[in-house]
């Protein structure tokens, strides 16, 4: 019996590939806000900066302190007047003197203190190993000494563990956001503190947002009403040209301190009045 040749099994048609859904990119809320401002209130950012520059001047960057001193000083200013933070820093220098070169310290723009006298930075290794209670007494003039002594010791220990010493000069080689991420990785160092250190020590384009900056910007309408203080940093990064961040930071602080007070802002002498939504809710 001859077998009839087997007809090949019918081939399954190849499964049709489902068209891949294109992954939708999440819109960047900071850029979206910038675009919205450009569309609905054109020129507002430039107007604000130009008017404030007319009042308070423009500022060129110059280093104030080495970055580790800047970090510790910024921790000392948290919820305290700048002059008290300066006094606490002077006490740190006295209690833990170092043989490092003397730094020429100046108050610099935007600083509300009297300015530190020239001096060598404290011996950070000695501060790191100092008993906590001792450090609390040394920095007491700065206010909130328990909280700040812990913060300073934690920051110094983190830097030593990560780098083997206390220098933060390496941050100047990083991009602004990489450096900010590195610093905020230290327990207790927030976006504002990190931005202050990097803007003032290296001139990196970051925008520290304190309560004055936030208040003025919110009132004018530069920030969305529901933006948190941390988010405000990134809204500004999306809005400002890198070379205007120092100027924006310094002048918004000055305006908040001198004119746009939390209570009874002095609208009548304010050059932002024509475009301020706090003064005129329908301002352009
Ligand atoms: S107009 Fe008044 S509320 Fe608006 S920025 Fe000036 S001082 Fe502040």
Q: Choose the final residue of a domain: 141, 176, 202.
A: 202
Tell whether 84 is covered by a domain: yes
Out of 52-66, 170-184, 200-214, pick the least confident: 52-66
Token pair for residue 96? Answer: 């833990």
Tell the residue number behind the tokens 């300015």, with chain if given. 115
Q: What is the mean pLDDT of residues 3-17?
A: 59
Q: Write the CB contacts of 255 (distance below 8 Å, at least 6 apart in sequence).
A: 52, 55, 56, 212, 216, 270, 272
pLDDT bracket for residue 119 (50, 70, 90): confident
Q: Choose the final residue of a domain: 174, 202, 230.
A: 202
Q: What is the CATH number for 254? A: 1.10.1670.10
| Ligand 1 pocket, residue 44 CB under 6 Å | no
Distance 216 CA to ligand 1 centre (A): 7
**Looking at residue 259, what DSSP letter applies?**
T
| Ligand 1 pocket, residue 61 CB under 6 Å | no
Q: 245-258 and 211-220 are packed helices; what angle lies between their axes, rounded to 10 degrees? A: 90
Asked if 195 and 74 sit in the same domain, the reply is: yes
User: pLDDT tens digits, residue range 22-43?
Assistant: 677 778 999 999 999 999 999 9
Asked if 120 and 239 sit in the same domain, the reply is: no
Task: Please give the residue range of the domain that contains residue 55.
Answer: 34-59+207-275
Asked if 240 and 159 sit in the same domain, the reply is: no
| Ligand 1 pocket, residue 276 CB under 6 Å | yes
Report the alpha-carbon distance of residue 233 to residue 227 in Å, rounded. 10
Report the alpha-carbon distance of residue 206 to residue 240 in Å, rounded. 10
Of ligand 1's listed atoms, the one at least distance from the Cα of 259 is 7
pLDDT bracket for residue 259 (50, 70, 90): very high
Tell the residue number behind the tokens 């200013």, with chain if given. 77
Probe target for ligand 1 pocket from 253, 272, 274, 283, with the most ligand atoms within 8 Å of CB = 272
Q: Quote the pLDDT of residue 16.
A: 66
Nearest CA to ligand 1 atom 8: 260
Dihedral angle of Cα 259, 260, 266, 269, to the nearest 10 degrees = 60
Of ligand 1's listed atoms, the one at least distance from the Cα of 272 is 6
Q: What is the CATH number for 198? A: 1.10.340.30
Tell the residue number behind the tokens 């209570």, with chain if given. 263
Report the alpha-carbon distance of residue 83 to residue 89 in Å, rounded. 10
Tell whether 127 is covered by a domain: yes
Report the Cα 55 to chain-centroid distance in Å. Answer: 24
| Ligand 1 pocket, residue 279 CB under 6 Å | yes
Token pair for residue 244? Answer: 């205007």
Report the alpha-carbon distance of residue 146 to residue 37 in Å, rounded. 43
| Ligand 1 pocket, residue 272 CB under 6 Å | yes
Does the pLDDT at position 101 exceed 60? yes
User: pLDDT tens digits, residue range 224-257?
Assistant: 999 999 999 999 999 999 999 999 999 999 999 9
Q: CB of 229 within 8 A of CB of 192?
A: yes
| Ligand 1 pocket, residue 267 CB under 6 Å | yes
Asked if 162 and 73 sit in the same domain, the reply is: yes
Number of domains present in the structure of the chain: 2
Q: What is the mean pLDDT of residues 261-282?
A: 97
Q: DSSP states of 193-244 as a string?
A: HHHHHHHHHH--S-----HHHHHHHHHHTSS-TT--HHHHHHHHHHHS-GGG
Asked if 181 and 81 sit in the same domain, the reply is: yes
Tell whether 219 is covered by a domain: yes
Phi, psi for residue 163 in degrees, rounded to 5? -120, -15
Report the alpha-carbon distance of residue 100 to residue 174 in Å, rounded. 25
pLDDT bracket for residue 1 (50, 70, 90): very low
Asked if 39 and 82 sit in the same domain, the reply is: no
Q: What is the mean pLDDT of residues 93-121?
A: 78
């Amino acid at each position: 019996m001859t077998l009839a040749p087997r007809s090949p099994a019918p081939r399954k048609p190849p499964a049709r590939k489902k068209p891949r859904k294109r992954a939708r990119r999440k819109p960047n809320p900071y850029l979206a806000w910038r675009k919205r401002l450009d569309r609905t209130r054109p020129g507002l950012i430039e107007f604000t900066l130009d008017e404030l520059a007319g009042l308070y001047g423009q500022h060129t960057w110059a280093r104030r302190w080495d970055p580790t001193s800047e970090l510790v000083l910024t921790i000392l200013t948290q919820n305290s007047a700048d002059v008290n933070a300066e006094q606490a820093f002077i006490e740190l220098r006295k209690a833990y003197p170092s043989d490092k070169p003397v730094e020429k310290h100046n108050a610099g723009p935007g600083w509300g203190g009297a300015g530190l006298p020239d001096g060598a930075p404290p011996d950070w290794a000695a501060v790191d190993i100092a008993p906590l209670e001792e450090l609390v007494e040394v920095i007491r003039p700065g206010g909130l000494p328990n909280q700040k002594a812990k913060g300073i010791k934690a920051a110094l220990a983190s830097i030593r563990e990560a780098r083997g010493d206390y220098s933060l000069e390496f941050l100047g080689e990083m991009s602004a956001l990489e450096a900010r991420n590195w610093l905020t990785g230290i327990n207790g160092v927030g976006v504002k503190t990190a931005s202050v250190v990097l803007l003032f020590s290296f001139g990196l384009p970051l925008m520290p947002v304190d309560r004055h900056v936030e208040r003025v910007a919110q009132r004018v309408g530069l920030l969305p009403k529901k933006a948190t203080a941390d988010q405000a940093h990134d809204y500004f990064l999306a809005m400002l040209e890198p070379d205007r961040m120092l100027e924006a930071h310094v002048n918004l602080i000055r305006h908040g301190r001198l004119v746009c007070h939390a209570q009874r802002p002095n609208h009548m002498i304010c050059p932002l009045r024509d475009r301020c939504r706090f003064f005129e809710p329908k301002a352009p």
